[in-house]
Copies of this chain bind each other. A is one copy, B any other.
Amino acid sequence: MTNQQTLVFDEATIFNNLPGKNAFYQQDILAVSQFNRQKLDYLFALAERMRQVVEARGGIDLLKHRVLAALFYEPSTRTSSSFIAAMERLGGSVIPITQGVQFSSVSKGESLPDTVRTLEQYADVIVLRHPEKGSAATAAHYASVPVINAGDGPGEHPTQALLDLFTILEEMGTIDGLTIAMVGDLRYGRTVHSLTELLLEYNVKLRFVSPEILRMPLDLMNKVRDAGYDVRETYDVHEVIGEADVLYVTRVQKERFTDLAQYEQVKDYYTITPELLAHAKERMVVMHPLPRVGEISYEVDKDPRAAYFRQVRNGLYIRMALLAAVLCRGEA
């Protein structure tokens, strides 16, 4: 997917021949449920063009004189950096409210609606990270500029799910037909839930690998089964390693276990090593939302199937595509 074309897109052509190109214009981006197959196709095509632009020239002046307010009530260097770089590579600027908000006046008494209605006077788009579920929707309700949800606690983190899915497409050339295994904490893992939701737009086989106490929530399992998907749950990654086209790994936190002996007993079921990957397909990818803390050994990094840092890079392209799609009106 990444072969360089001689003709790279510019400000005038970047939206050319993209079906449904105004689908996101001035829209909030709050949840993965907003995205159907057609919208995903559009977004991923635009993200792929962003990749070409960045690789060829570093950026493109689509959002000159536009301002993004990055309002992070909890620090997230990875996510805020990604949005900041995305805006800057589009020629735009950022108000970085990304560190120490908890100490600032924003959080001293002022309500989220008032903060949002203040920032929209300065900025064209608000990217919000907030510890409370539903906060992004609240912000979007009050704001007249688009709000992008960069994580609302146990709620959603839609741009992570989008970059995950885009990574599968970029790495494997397709999504339909793949066998996708999710490994680790499937109960509390916000990213695996959102990714699973998005995958229901595609024709895939799903394998869920987790300890008993961290199984995929019942309602999501039922949704997947009712939709007729080939889905299987197991306790041990070894059972799926041979068939997986995508191994999506998340961390199993020790703290989730009341019985630490149990944790010690199962933890190796969810750790990715070169030995494990020896049983994997030659063409497959290992993904991880990062940061990792031991669940993928460093020796795996050298394996060409280790896609987690390329996954981070795709976050840049997806966020560039989203910002451009939200703030630019393509020609009719």
Interface residues of A (CB under 8 A from B): 57-60, 64-67, 69, 75-78, 81-82, 84-85, 88-89, 91, 93-97, 99-101, 103-106, 108-110, 113-115, 117-119, 121-124, 290-293, 298, 309-310, 312-313, 315-316
C-alpha spacing A203/B284, complex, angstroms: 60
C-alpha spacing A137/B123, complex, angstroms: 31
Contacts of A121 in B (CB 8 A): 309-310, 312-313, 315-316
| B78 pairs with A65, CB closer than 8 A | no
13 pairs, CB–CB < 8 Å, chain A vs chain B: A57-B65, A59-B64, A67-B88, A81-B118, A85-B93, A85-B123, A100-B100, A105-B291, A109-B291, A114-B292, A118-B309, A121-B310, A121-B316
| B99 pairs with A81, CB closer than 8 A | no
Contacts of A115 in B (CB 8 A): 77
C-alpha spacing A124/B109, complex, angstroms: 35
Contacts of A65 in B (CB 8 A): 57-60, 88-89, 91
| A316 pairs with B89, CB closer than 8 A | no
Closest to A113 in B: B298
List 8 extra interface pairs beyond A67-B88, A109-B293, CB under 8 A. Answer: A57-B65, A59-B65, A67-B85, A75-B104, A88-B93, A99-B99, A100-B103, A114-B292
Closest to A120 in B: B309
With A67-B88, A75-B103, A103-B75 already in contact, the answer to whether A316 and B122 are too (CB < 8 A) is: yes
